[in-house]
Amino acid sequence: MPQGSIAGGSQGSGSTAMPRVMVHFDRPGRDYAPRQQLAVRHDIEGLGGEPLRAVERSVLWYTEGKGEEDLGVHWFERIDETEGLLAVSPWGEFTIRLPMSPLSYEGLIVKVRWCVRVRIFFADNRDFVSEHVFDVGGISPARAPLERLE
Amino acid sequence: MSLQASESAAVERFVGNPFSTRHTAPGRVEPLDREGEPLDLGKLLDRIAREGGRAAILGRHGRGKTTLLHRLAETAERRGDRVVRIRVRSPWDLIPILNSLAGSPSGSLICIDSWEQLGGPGAAIALLFARLRRCRLVVTAHSGGDLPPLAVCETTPALLAAIVRRLPAGDALDGGLIDDTDVASAFEQSSGDIREALFRLYDLFEERRRGL
């Protein structure tokens, strides 16, 4: 399973902050087994002093391919300003237990990916999403030639 | 807990196939003109008002009509308008359209995708109801019918190239697994259908990434 991240967000009214979210996993290679514990620490940089409204953290799976996207949220938490966590340099950590399924799968026309998603909401209604993929189940990627599927 | 620092700005990179529907489904990409330049959505919304509150986004399959409709709806919502989105799959979908119109305040923007699926009588009823409710109506259709055209979606190789450049890691594609020649070829083989061309590029990306 390739590893990496994807980030993006919506435009705000004149905002210049370019956040960067770093997620640290407790397993080498981010490889996890079903029902295994997942421990994560995330650091958010590049906020440029802009006030935040909330941070959402979730662990979820999604499908990726040529068809319609499917998605399941396994764990979700929203931390808002009333909890006073976001004033200076936001960071956080959490530990959850993964479910039995679905397992990560790197198919040709469909893939199942697990990721840690951190979503930052700025006070000006702009938001920023960062996803960090990890593997559940250790299934080998599909290798069948495309012609066989047609 | 003992944490593996497996992510940093230096190693941050895109994972996945940039041509998957996750990134290319209608509404996910920025609406562009045939030269690949961003459309002015605010001006288009203003034009709907000038056209009497009714307009159609026209074009053949895979030309970007739904994407433009989605983005117009988002722009209207950011302006504070009430927006209703409906995808028509059969003439029976007239019922939810009428229900939505009945529950929408005057000035709401009703966005209807695949307008021709309603059929002539259904479309006439929906139009009449929208006028009675004083709601604005913008639809996607393959041909205009009675509605004034807001935009005619046409595609070019330059447009597809611009879409590809805007995908996640799109800048890194050129010279990598997919290059400009592949994009131009996908456009030609798909007869200008952008959705089909992106599917072709998806397959090509998978093929090359796996060394098939």
**Mind listing the pLDDT tens digit of every residue in chain A (150 residues)?**
444 556 565 544 455 667 889 999 999 889 999 999 999 999 888 887 777 888 899 999 999 999 888 999 999 998 886 665 555 457 888 999 999 999 999 888 899 999 999 998 888 878 888 999 999 998 888 776 655 555
Residue B97: C-alpha distances to residues B106, B118, B150 (Å): 15, 10, 21
In a domain, B17, yes or no: no
Interchain CB contact of B3 with A (< 8 Å)? yes
Cis amide bond preceding A102, omega within 30: yes
* H-type alpha helices, chain B: 21-24, 41-50, 65-78, 94-102, 119-132, 157-166, 170-173, 180-189, 194-209
- Buried/exposed B68-89: b ≥16 CB within 10 Å, e otherwise: bbbbbbebbeeeeeebbbbebe
- Residue found under tokens 């599909």: A142
Q: Is residue B113 located within the same domain as residue B181?
A: no
Q: How far apart are CA B109 and CA B137, in angstroms?
A: 6
In this prediction, residue B49 has a pLDDT band, given cuts at 50, 70 and 90, of confident
Query: A67 to chain B, minimum CA–CA distance in Å?
Result: 6
Interchain CB contact of B2 with A (< 8 Å)? yes
Q: How many domains does chain B have?
A: 2
Q: Is residue B61 located within the same domain as residue B99?
A: yes
Cβ atoms of A113 and A133 within 8 Å: the answer is: yes
> What residues make up the domain containing A109?
5-10+17-140
In a domain, A132, yes or no: yes
How high is the pLDDT of residue B174? 55
Cα end-to-end distance, chain B, whole Å: 41
* Amino acid identity at B79: R
Residue B134: Cβ within 10 Å count: 13
Q: Is residue B165 located within the same domain as residue B124?
A: no
Cβ atoms of A104 and A68 within 8 Å: the answer is: no
Q: Is residue B145 located within the same domain as residue B45?
A: yes
How high is the pLDDT of residue B111? 94
In a domain, A124, yes or no: yes
Q: Is B211 exposed, middle or buried (0-12, 13-18, 19+ CB in 10 A)?
A: exposed
How high is the pLDDT of residue A12? 47
Would the CB atoms of B207 and A146 count as touching at under 8 Å?
A: yes
In this prediction, residue B4 has a pLDDT band, given cuts at 50, 70 and 90, of very low
**Given a cut of 60, is residue B2 above it in pLDDT?**
no
In a domain, B18, yes or no: no
ipTM, 2 dp: 0.71
Q: Give pTM, 2 decimals.
A: 0.78
Q: How many domains does chain A have?
A: 1
In a domain, B6, yes or no: no
Binning chain A into helix, strand and coil, the percentages to the nearest 5 are: 5, 50, 40
> What residues make up the domain containing B81?
41-152
- Residue found under tokens 């590029």: B201
Q: Is residue B147 located within the same domain as residue B202?
A: no
Nearest to B202 among A20, A66, A141 (CB): A66
Q: Which residues of A touch B (CB under 8 A)?
A: 2-8, 20, 22-30, 39-41, 62, 64-69, 93, 95, 108, 111, 113, 132-133, 141, 143, 145-146
**Given a cut of 70, is residue B139 above it in pLDDT?**
yes
H/E run at residue B77 = helix B65-78
How high is the pLDDT of residue A135? 95
